[in-house]
Structure 1
Amino acid sequence: MQRARAPGRSGDPERQPSRRDLLAGAGAAAGLLLLGCRGDPVDVRDQAAIAAGGSRGYPGPAIDLAFWTGFTGGDRPPMERLIERFNREHDNITVRMSVTRWGDFYQKVPAAVDSGHGPDVAVMHADQLATAAVHRTILPLDEVTQALGLGAADFTRTLWDAGVFRGRRYGIPLDVHPLGLYYNRAVLADAGIGDAALPRSRRDYLAVLEHLKGRGIQGSWVSPVLYTGGLMFQSLLWQSGGELFSEDGARATFNSEAGVEALGFLLDLIKRGYSPRDVGQDADSIAFTNNRNAFIWNGIWMINTYRAIPGLRWGVLPVPAIGARRAVWANSHNLVLPRQPSTGAGQGRLKASVVFVDWLSRHSLEWAKAGMVPARREARESAAFQRMTEQATFAEQLPVVRFPPAIAGVDSVRASTLDLAVNEAVLLRTAPREALNRAAREADALLSDNLRKFGRAL
């Protein structure tokens, strides 16, 4: 994750796509992914059973495994060190990591798998598993996790359930990366605000922002793009009791009263003068690093970015409870096994791949150095992790994290409808209710198309 946004998740900073561009793109992406469904697909359940030997070791001949990820930023070196260690410890398995920006990754993998040249192991975000599963890009892992003895108790129930689609498991969580509230110590100290006044609630947050405003400081900049304004909206929606979509994936529900309230809160920050208008992409984070912004809701991936800036004095808190309940947006990197050609060699590769997946899952504490909360409970409860002060603070939110819903194709739907609505409202071009209602109508049409292609989410 790079610059001042999530790694590999950014768009073109020089051009924000129009609503028409994104609606057309959503349809094109869905059509591209459908390539993975053509032909005579092998029975992925049988292939998963082949891999169910667990981690007892791979007794076969020397083998090279292709491991594909989107770790292009500061998260790449920690993963490279883990792979180097695995290769030293395993004489007959060599893992080679290929890295592609996430935006390209989710187009590259289905096409490669369909052609028979996909990776042996890959990493996917939890919100991408449903789409990959419906296209049979990845294998169900119920037999694998049973052989490995893994269950919710090894992670958390929310993390564990995020890997399930239509009653089958497709991902093994490696980490969780939620939003947090970063604060600039220098800005707050100059305004006479100490640690005792750091905000945990809506009242506290607004009181601090009003105090900062009295000192001429706009303390909480609202971005009109997904990172970070869109993720703020999703967190606030859940805090207000709303949902993004219906459980079956048939309709958008983000235009509820909870959605209007959530988007209204963001606009109030601007209208009250706590945020500038027309905040450019990444401008909120740039202002934070230049001691012009006191608070920023951003992901755990910014830990290593802010640590690397000389002289920047900062800390992090859980996202404050603005609504009636605690909730915060999060996502999770999951280990997946892409579908392999149904050959004898492919069966051997699956057995070796499970050994690697099991080893990597068990070593998620080292992965925490990439600026992540490890998924494994034993890693989070270790003394070593508790010494990672910032990551441990993010981990306090695990009981209230919320993941995007497990609905095939929903990521494209959200990007081409809801994200534009948030953008238009935050830029004060359209009233919140009008923007959300229009986006919901467009989302419903796209969801209807998805239902015809993929069936219901449940």
Structure 2
Amino acid sequence: MKHVLIGTALAATAVTGATAQEVTLGRFFGACEDAGTDTTASVGEACIIQSIINAADAELDGITVTTLPTDWGNYYDQVIAAYAGGEPPDVHVMHRHRVPQFAGLGALAELSGDLEAAGIDVSDWAPAALDAVSFEGGIYGVPMDFHANLWHVNMEIMEAAGLVAEDGSPILPSSPEELLEHAAMVEAATGHDYLAADFAQFPIGVRLVLSLMWQQGENIFTEDGTATIDTEAARNAVTTITQLFDAGHADPQLNYADSQQAFLNGEAAVLVNGTWVVDFYSAEAANPDVALSDYYVADFPTLFAEGATWADSHMWAIPASLKRDDPETYAAALQVLAFINAHNIDWARTGHMAVRNSVLASEAYAALPHRDEYTGTAAIARDTPAAENYGAIQDVLNRELQAIWLTGKPVGDALSDAELEVQDLLDG
């Protein structure tokens, strides 16, 4: 009976001439006021996603989509407040790591019985994509991508330092010691920093430390909820980064915008950032007014025993209250999700990895700029075990790691304090 009602509601939303069903959509990714509706021409996360949303608004009969963009930094605070106030967006983006928090509280609609009627083929999702939106046997979202940390490389600086292989790819370090050697080579040849990243604002530094811990076969907590932060692996990971600060080969005070600008200005050989900026940096490198001109994208290098890099997944969710109380808007929201799912190749132009098997196997996907340079990333993508308090855990780690490289807090003290606080969070 439920599926009949959903199908009827789906049909009702498509009746031309009827009052348009408004779907509010909450997202981050930044603002883009002139995205238009051409999903193949926009550049950068903000404009690509907005062009897809604008196209949905223009092409879905009987549905209007109202975008509620918010800043990435406080997005979840706003979404949580909207749920608490009883007025969450009809559709909103979220990360895989947040599914246990929201679904565990019953806030998200379970979608599995309604996706086929909306035109969404779950069998076309890659297994990891299905896993990303699943929780306790249910499906609580429509996946949009896999994203991960990469090494964005200025090949002019690498060539000047003698760090280019015969095949034209950058020579990347294979140990912490070699990392320091390469950094010294870059400084000697160019006077520039070797590595830039956001160490002072968002948790890019956390993701770096996590990656280097995973490369040693360790994690910050176990599947059974035991914090494991004050460890030799964590000390090794932190030291790998702080040795660059101590030698003057990286600046711990750079925030996200400053680290990105330093890379675009040709002031750093490598920027650690995600898949989401690949097409933006590619476009910037083609701009004669930008110092970066020879741009390469590399998998995160293996500095310890095994390959690993931080990764996550973006997905779209619908509030459980909408499914329960407003079947017509719920059906319209599903159509919006189906539209976004159908445009997975367009979203993949950002640099993110696609989630649909048919897209992953397509010539169009393989032909995307720089795609062949980081094909190994999917195989080394890692994350922490699922945790309802992931956001708070990440905040603790970010605060304590920044205390190490910004205020000189002893490594042992910071890791010990982080472990105690994270354990409290894991214990609920």
Give the alignment's TM-score, normalised by structure 2: 0.82
| Aligned equivalent of 1:354 | 334
| Aligned equivalent of 1:239 | 215
**Following TM superposition, by how much is the alpha carbon of 1:408 offset from its aligned partner in structure 2, in angstroms?**
1.0
Compared CA separation, residues 301 and 408, structure 1 to 2 (3 A): same
Q: Which is further off, 372-381 or 176-185?
A: 372-381
**Aligned AA (1:443):** V
Q: How does 1:189-338 map to 2 (within 5 A)?
A: 189-196=159-166, 198-203=170-175, 205-215=179-189, 216-221=191-196, 223-225=198-200, 226-248=202-224, 250-276=225-251, 278-282=252-256, 283-306=258-281, 307-308=283-284, 310-311=289-290, 312-313=292-293, 314-338=295-319
| Aligned equivalent of 1:456 | none
Compared CA separation, residues 222 and 340, structure 1 to 2 (3 A): closer
Q: How does 1:179-194 map to 2 (within 5 A)?
A: 179-194=149-164
Q: Is the 8 A contact 2:145 2:352 kept in 1?
A: yes
Q: Is residue 63 of structure 1 aligned with residue 15 of structure 2?
A: no
Compared CA separation, residues 150 and 242, structure 1 to 2 (3 A): farther
Distance (Å, rounded) in 2 between the aligned partners of 1:420 and 1:210:
29
User: Equivalent residue of 1:95, what SS?
Assistant: strand
Deviations 1:357-381 (A, max 9, x none): 1221121111123443222222232
User: Equivalent residue of 1:144, what SS?
Assistant: coil
- Sequence identity percentage: 24
Q: How does 1:78-117 map to 2 (within 5 A)?
A: 78-117=48-87
Distance (Å, rounded) in 1 between the aligned partners of 2:370 and 2:9:
34
Q: Is the 8 A contact 1:200 1:319 kept in 2?
A: no
Distance (Å, rounded) in 1 between the aligned partners of 2:324 and 2:205:
47
Q: Is the 8 A contact 2:155 2:170 kept in 1?
A: no
**Aligned AA (1:331):** D
Q: Is the 8 A contact 1:64 1:96 kept in 2?
A: yes
**Aligned AA (1:241):** G
Distance (Å, rounded) in 1 between the aligned partners of 2:353 and 2:131:
17
**Following TM superposition, by how much is the alpha carbon of 1:447 offset from its aligned partner in structure 2, in angstroms?**
2.6
**Following TM superposition, by how much is the alpha carbon of 1:202 offset from its aligned partner in structure 2, in angstroms?**
1.4
Alignment counterpart, residue 357 of structure 2, candidates 377, 388, 397: 377
Distance (Å, rounded) in 2 between the aligned partners of 1:49 and 1:407:
36
> CA RMSD of the aligned region, Å?
3.1
**Aligned AA (1:198):** P
Distance (Å, rounded) in 2 between the aligned partners of 1:57 and 1:247:
45
Distance (Å, rounded) in 2 between the aligned partners of 1:85 and 1:265:
46
Alignment counterpart, residue 321 of structure 2, candidates 340, 344, 348: 340
Deviations 1:169-216 (A, max 9, x none): 322210122111111122223334434362345146455334224334
**Aligned AA (2:301):** P
Deviations 1:222-269 (A, max 9, x none): 653344322211111111111122214x33223332222211211233
Can you give the 5+ residue segments of structure 2 that lack an aligned partner in the other structure? 32-43
Distance (Å, rounded) in 1 between the aligned partners of 2:10 and 2:354:
20
Deviations 1:282-318 (A, max 9, x none): 4443332222211121112233443336332221111
Alignment counterpart, residue 410 of structure 2, candidates 431, 445, 454: 431
Deviations 1:86-121 (A, max 9, x none): 344332222222211233432333333444432221
Can you give the 5+ residue segments of structure 1 that lack an aligned partner in the other structure? 1-45, 451-458
Size of the aligned set, in residue pairs, is: 399
Q: Which is further off, 322-331 or 213-222?
A: 213-222
Distance (Å, rounded) in 2 between the aligned partners of 1:104 and 1:435:
25
Distance (Å, rounded) in 2 between the aligned partners of 1:252 and 1:53:
49
Compared CA separation, residues 236 and 285, structure 1 to 2 (3 A): same
Q: Is the 8 A contact 1:52 1:143 kept in 2?
A: no
**Following TM superposition, by how much is the alpha carbon of 1:48 offset from its aligned partner in structure 2, in angstroms?**
9.5
Compared CA separation, residues 193 and 258, structure 1 to 2 (3 A): closer
Distance (Å, rounded) in 1 between the aligned partners of 2:192 and 2:72:
36
**Aligned AA (1:183):** V
Compared CA separation, residues 372 and 385, structure 1 to 2 (3 A): same
Deviations 1:148-179 (A, max 9, x none): 6744x634333332223334332221012211
Distance (Å, rounded) in 1 between the aligned partners of 2:358 and 2:414:
44
Q: Is the 8 A contact 2:312 2:383 kept in 1?
A: yes
**Aligned AA (1:219):** Y
